[in-house]
């Protein structure tokens, strides 16, 4: 994406009203980072603090992500950060299937435009969308798979959602190591 294209894309995200999630959001949260990145990190949804600040991966989940990037000697500007949905769901519930479907065009457009070599699937919902099957993150974290369409091919690395480390601190190092390894490649 050129700078103008990414700006237009993000403006479209910010003004989106395609599903019910827009009704309770503070703001829609676009992507962050480099549209020329080799690595794309994809989460399930915008968090509470993301909704308030307007940037992805804020708060403790963002600290986990920043730690992982630091381990790889990278910053947020060296990767492309995005989510499947761009609005914070009420009470932090999981996005519903129709909400994911309505937001899919933004994610699909980003995949094609960024054309990353590696996609880090941060959690079950993202891994299942990319791999097209049921995924047990507990059994498959750290594994690598191929994402392939007619026009696009990338390696998918499955790991836990960065927010999981806020509930289970023992996952912080696991997530950080797996993200760092994927970003370093």
pLDDT tens series, the chain, 185 aa: 665 588 899 999 999 999 999 999 999 999 999 999 999 999 999 999 999 999 999 999 899 999 999 999 999 999 999 999 999 999 999 999 999 999 999 999 999 899 999 999 999 999 999 999 999 999 999 999 999 888 889 999 999 999 999 889 999 999 999 999 999 87
Domain encompassing residue 78: 3-184
Whole-angstrom CA distances from 163 to 21, 50, 61, 107, 180 are 20, 12, 5, 20, 16
For the chain, the domain total comes to 1
> Taking the model in full, what pTM does it have?
0.95
User: For the domain that residue 14 is a member of, what is the CATH number?
Assistant: 3.40.470.10
């Amino acid at each position: 994406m050129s700078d103008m294209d990414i700006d237009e894309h993000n403006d479209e995200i910010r003004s989106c009203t395609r599903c019910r999630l827009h009704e309770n959001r503070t703001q829609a949260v676009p992507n962050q980072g480099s549209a020329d990145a080799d690595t794309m990190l994809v989460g399930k949804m915008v968090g509470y603090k993301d909704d308030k600040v307007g940037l992805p991966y804020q708060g403790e989940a963002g600290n986990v992500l920043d730690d992982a990037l630091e381990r790889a000697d990278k910053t947020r500007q060296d990767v492309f950060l995005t989510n499947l949905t761009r609005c914070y769901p009420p009470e932090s519930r999981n996005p519903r299937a129709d909400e994911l479907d309505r937001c899919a065009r933004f994610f699909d457009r980003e995949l094609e435009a960024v054309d990353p070599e590696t996609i880090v699937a941060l959690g079950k919902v993202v891994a299942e969308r990319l791999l097209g099957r049921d995924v047990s993150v507990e059994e498959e974290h750290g594994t690598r798979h191929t994402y392939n369409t007619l026009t696009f091919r990338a390696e998918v690395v499955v790991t836990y959602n960065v927010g999981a480390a806020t509930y289970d601190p023992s996952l912080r190092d696991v997530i950080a190591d797996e993200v760092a390894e994927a970003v370093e490649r």
